[in-house]
Structure 1
């Protein structure tokens, strides 16, 4: 294991991350709420720590291997969350414990959207902006952003890219990795600007429009108000949110191919996209019919309005709320939580198992049924009209097995910490799927759970963000054999 290159890279990434403390300082100067010192201290501590690491190992010439890439990605998400707690700990407006601050920063950077903060409407604007910015940075992955910069600093990042993008997705969009990172971030920034403009035209003020665009495109779910999107009680605002949650849940590689060819057909020809649309449509229909039949709302229009928003929000693992869905009748709250298990598309900013994995598992199940009926038949599983390699199918089932095992262990650990069964199940689903809202004690926020439960869920968020395999590889003893 070449730890020198690991420490050098973490130092460089910390120095890059320290610069993200500048926008909150600017926001505080605009609103004059005397919070700038908090972010200035955070900037200096993060920059200083990164600089010390880099100076110690700057002459390192080793090349990255996959093991170093995995170690950098996992350790950096932890270290980044650690340094991201500084503004939360120093702000007099919050008075947070270290466990709460770490939970909040991990939730932001992993785009989970679970919060322990109550009274968001009264917080300083700089703190609110900082929370939203954490999700925006975590959405595309600060590692991917750094890939556009690291080559200029003499660090090769191929292994970082593969460790960060561990899900099933398209390969590099362009021949050069740094160029790929830039293309992804240009699309990401373009969506963010368009979303912010849409929110502003729908009636939000500039601050709320920018903040919510960060959380929407990142599929994060943090809001500047306790009532989330429901605070605005606006069909126009909800419509903008639905459009951009849907777009952010699509593979960003697919967005690139559509943009490059200037033709929308790439969407229609993609098997995962079609399954994504069908899944969302069926979920909306089921939720709408139940809400209409149970008379939850006064008119069918209201039932359709809230069903569309909550279905897209939960299925894409955004976690925004326009209504108290946990109080809906029958199995609707549980159904919405289960929709987050499917999640968004691979290569998107969403969480969950991912649509393409679920699609492949269905195809594999259908293949086994056909093989049972026709034992000698040669049946290929195809995706986008191409046969799927056997090792890919094994990888999908391996991921699913690890997912189930991790889910059970985390849920049991939460129950041992004192949470009831419903709260434990939904909190595990909300964290490992990077969803945010749950049921029971965690329906509104996570402030009432124990510190031990918060640390368990923080681990679960990181596990979900890195799609399990990356973190599990680090925990395997074979990884550390020199």
Structure 2
């Protein structure tokens, strides 16, 4: 293990992260808010600690190994979450505890969108901007951004990229060099953000809200600058823009790159994962519409409007809201929570297990059924017209098994804290799937939960964001053996 090299990289990345607190300080300065002081102090603390970590090992120049990449990824997300909580803790309004500050920080960086803060409409704009910005940086992954910079610092980046990027097919790169891949991903990400902000502004949002909500929309995060979330605007046009960009952001960014390079959108429907993603959203929307109309929960138009927005928001693990979906007929809240386990596409900013894994699970299940009828038959699993290596199928089965096992263990721990079944199940599902809103006590916010519960849920957010194995692998004895 290259410990000096790891320390050097963490120091560099921490110094880079410190600069993300300056825009919030600038917002506080613009609006003449005292909150700017908390962000300036947090900036100096983070910068100083990063510098002191980097200084003793600044001369280290060695290529990273695979294990180093995993350790750096996990350490940096832990460190990032903890240092990201500093300005939240220092602020007088709201007055957050250490557990609350860390929970909010991890929720932002992992694009979960679960919050312990209420009264957003009365809080300093510097804080509101910082929360939205945390999600934007976390959406594509700070590590991937750093990979585009690290080669200039003499550090190889492929190991970090493998550990950070979501999905089972991590070896596929858009361009031959990893630094170029990271840059392409961020160009697409930034372009979508700018387009979303412009659309929100033209639809009637003020510039501050348009920028803030574009950050959390493209990041599939769900934080808002208002307690009522997108429902604050009561605008079908704004909701339609939000739905469009949530769907786009939930698609594999490699497809966006291909569409841009080939000047064609046919690749979207030709891709089996994207096709399944759209069909799942459409089917869930129809079910929600039928149930709402059948129970006469709203009029027909309102049922269609609410069903469309909440289906896309929850299924993509964004977590925006325009109504309290937890009060819908019992079938629908649990259906939507189940959809968050599927989540968005691999290579997107969404959470959950990813659509491609669910597709492969279905195909593997179908293959096993055929084998029961034809024991001697050979039935390859295919995505499109290409066979999927058995190693990938095995990895998907392993991932899903560990995912469910981790969920079961954390669920029992949460029940042990005294939470009721619905709250414990939905809160854990919302956090490990990086969704945000839950049911029961966490339908509106997580502020009333015990500190111990918040620490467990913060761990669940990180577990989901790093797709289980990246975090769990460093907890095994085998990882630390030479």
* Maintained 8 Å contact 2:277/2:355: yes
1:384-423 residue CA offsets vs partner (Å, 9 max, x unmatched): 2100000000000000010011000111111111211110
Q: What is the aligned partner in structure 2 of residue 70 from structure 1?
A: 70
- Check whether the contact 2:168–2:395 (CA below 8 A) recurs between aligned residues: no
How far does residue 466 in structure 1 lie from its aligned partner after superposition? 0.2
Following superposition, the deviation at residue 50 of structure 1 comes to 0.7
Distance apart, 1:167 and its partner CA: 2.0
* C-alpha deviation, 1:377, in angstroms: 1.4
2:422 maps to 1:422: yes
Tell me the residue number matched to 1:458.
458
User: Separation in 1 of the partners of 2:157 and 2:53?
Assistant: 18
* Displacement after TM superposition at 1:42 (Å): 1.0
Aligned length: 481
Q: CA deviation at 1:34?
A: 2.1
2:286 paired with 1:285: yes
Q: Is the Cα–Cα contact under 8 Å of residues 166 and 347 in structure 2 kept in the other structure?
A: no
Give TM-score, length-normalised by structure 2: 0.99
Counterpart Cα distance in 2 of 1:41 and 1:8: 23
Other-structure match for 1:201: 202
Q: In structure 2, do the counterparts of structure 1 residues 142 and 469 end up closer, same or farther at CA, with 3 Å as the change threshold?
A: same
**Residue aligning to 1:107:** 107
Within 5 A, what are the aligned runs for 1:114-125? 114-125=114-125
Matched, 1:160 2:160: yes
What does residue 178 of structure 1 align with?
Answer: 179
**CA-to-partner distance for each residue in 1:252-297, whole Å, 9 max, x for gaps?**
0111011111111111110000000110000000000000010111
Q: 2:104 touches 2:115 (CA, 8 Å); kept in 1?
A: yes
| C-alpha contact (below 8 Å) 2:62/2:155 kept by paired residues | no
- How far apart are the structure 1 equivalents of 2:193 and 2:218? 6
- Find the aligned partners of 2:388 and 2:58 in 1 and give their Cα distance: 43
CA distance in 2, matches of 1:238, 1:437: 18
Q: Residue 26 of structure 1 corresponds to which residue in structure 2? A: 26
Q: How far, CA to CA, are the matches of 2:140 and 2:29 in structure 1?
A: 28
Whether the aligned pair in 2 keeps the contact of 1:116 and 1:447 (CA below 8 Å) is: yes
Name the counterpart of 2:252: 251
- Which stretches in structure 2 are left out of the alignment for 5+ residues? none
Superposed counterparts of 1:137-156, under 5 Å: 137-156=137-156
Q: Output the CA distance in 1 between the equivalents of 2:61 and 2:242.
A: 46
C-alpha deviation, 1:166, in angstroms: 4.7
Which residue of the partner structure matches residue 235 of structure 2?
Answer: 234
**Which residue is 2:372 aligned to?**
372
Deviation track 1:53-96 (CA, whole Å, cap 9, x = no partner) reads 11111112332001110000001001001100111111111111
In 1: Cα distance, 2:322 partner to 2:132 partner:
18
TM-score (norm 1): 0.99
After superposition, the C-alpha distances for 1:118-158 in whole angstroms (9 at most, x for unaligned) are 11110000000000000000000010011111111111111
Q: Secondary structure at the match of 1:380?
A: coil
Deviation digits for residues 336-393 of structure 1 (CA, Å, limit 9, x no counterpart): 1111011000000000010000000000111111111122211111012100000000
Counterpart of 1:442 in structure 2 is: 442
Which shifted more, 394-403 or 365-374?
365-374
In the alignment, the residues of structure 2 paired with residue 140 and residue 101 of structure 1 have an alpha-carbon distance, to the nearest angstrom, of 22
Shift of 1:480: 0.7
RMSD: 0.8
Deviates further, 168-177 or 425-434: 168-177
Q: What 5-or-longer segments of structure 1 have no aligned partner? A: none
Q: Secondary structure at the match of 2:85?
A: helix
- The alpha-carbon deviation at position 163 of structure 1 amounts to 0.8
TM alignment of 1:11-410, pairs within 5 A: 11-169=11-169, 171-297=172-298, 299-410=299-410
